[in-house]
Every structure is written in structure tokens, then in C-alpha cells.
Amino acid sequence: MGLPDYLQMDNELSFRGSNKYPRSFGLVIRLCLHFGVQPVFIPIGEPWRNGVVEKFNDTYNKKFFRRQWFASYTTLKRQSKNFQRFHNKHHRYSCLKGKTPHEVLKVSNHNPSTIGANTKLPQLDSIADGNIILIRFIRSNRLLDIFGEKFLVSKDLVYSYVKAIIVTKIHRMQLYLGDELIDAFDYHLPVISRQ
């Protein structure tokens, strides 16, 4: 349905970057920010929050990927597009009120913004301006885990879910409880010099 406003994912290392350098974000985060998509990371250890994604991955794996042999990467890409078209015409989602993605697009006259078919991976040397959102549960130790870095937070947040937003433009991390901004931290990102 086009480029999303948000991309929700789990905290797998390949999505976020590096344990050794937690602020030098990986390609997935950089690509999201480059295209204006806000990455959203679910709470650590709560995979059920990605139920729709996991269900689609299971369907893709069982009904498409494991059912045929692909002679080349080009064939895989072409067949994957065919599967996507079939899926969007036939699979219904509760979040779309029981409609298929195709039905929703047809009645809404929505013209989704997409990335061109022959778009090459852009140069991602720098981190684009944008927001990276992390949902975290604060335990009794009062530690907020941001990609392996720990920040001590108020005891008032113990046993609460908080939303941490890394605002790359101003190198700050803002901490919210519901819609209320309750704290902010300096969050300096590495500067990559071009030679």
C-alpha cells in the first residue's frame, strides 16, 4: 500500500545496527529515515506485538518461498511480485476491517507513494533527519534500554511502558509516558566525514 509512515519491527540486530556501536545505526534504520519512514521498535522480548507481520512471514514462507525453486535472484524478484499481487487481492486483514489491501486502495482512490522499480540503494553515509521510536517496559531497575545502552529513569516509571523518540536532527532522545513528555537526554550521533 505504498511507503508507510511507520515501520514496526522487533529489536533484531540486523534491523538496528551494532551492539558495539549502538548509535551508528544500521542500513534498515538509515534507509527508513532516508525515505521519511519512522522506524518503531517494539518492546524487547514481546514478539506477539508483531503478530500480523509474523503471520505474513509464515504465509510467505509456506505458500511461496518453500513451494518452488528459483533459478536466479531475478526470478525470485519477479515471482515475489506475483505473490504480492495475489496476496493483496485475496488476503483479508482485521486492521483493514476485513478487506484486502486491494479493496482498500480501490475504494479510497489512494495513490500510494512508492519507490521506483529500478531505484538503486542510495548512499547512506549520513543519518537523515527523522525520528526513531522505541517502546520500552521499565522494570524495577529503572533502566531504559536503547539498543544496549542503559539510561536511568525516574522511579515513577517503574512497571510502565514508555516511548523513547530519538530525534536525529537535534541529537536528543525524548521520553514519553502516554502523550506526556517526561524527560529528555542528549543523544549525540556519530558524524561521518567525507574525504
Residues 6+ apart with CB under 8 A from 92: 98, 99, 100
In a domain? residue 67: yes
DSSP of 44-105, one letter per residue? TT-GGGGHHHHHHHHHHIIIIITTS--SSHHHHHHHHHHHHHHHHHH--BGGGTTB-HHHHH
Residues of the domain holding 74? 48-108
In terms of phi and psi (left: phi > 0; alpha: psi -120 to 50; beta: otherwise), the region of 57 is: alpha
- Residue 118's pLDDT is 77
- CA 14, distance to chain mean position in Å, is 12
- Residue 124's pLDDT is 87
Name the grid cell of 166. Answer: 530519538
Q: What is the pTM of this model?
A: 0.83
- Residue 195's pLDDT is 45
In a domain? residue 170: no
How far CA 147 is from CA of 94, 134, 187, in Å, comes to 31, 9, 12
- Residue 14's pLDDT is 86
- Residue 24's pLDDT is 86
SS3 175: strand
In a domain? residue 8: no
- Residue 192's pLDDT is 60
Residue among 10, 18, 8, 44 nearest 190 (CA): 18
Angle at CA 86, nearest 5°, toward 84 and 92? 95
- Residue 132's pLDDT is 98
Please report, in tens digits, the pLDDT of each residue of the chain (195 residues total): 678 899 999 998 888 888 888 888 989 999 999 999 999 999 999 988 888 788 888 888 898 888 888 999 989 988 988 898 888 899 888 888 999 988 888 888 777 787 877 778 888 888 999 999 999 999 999 999 999 999 999 999 999 999 999 999 999 999 999 999 999 999 999 876 444
Number of neighbouring beta carbons within 10 Å of residue 28:
16
In a domain? residue 52: yes
The Cα 151–Cα 108 span in angstroms is 44
The Cα 126–Cα 193 span in angstroms is 9
The domain tally of the chain equals: 1
Task: Identify the DSSP state of 28.
Answer: H
In a domain? residue 79: yes
- Residue 123's pLDDT is 84
Task: Identify the DSSP state of 144.
Answer: E
In a domain? residue 55: yes
In a domain? residue 77: yes
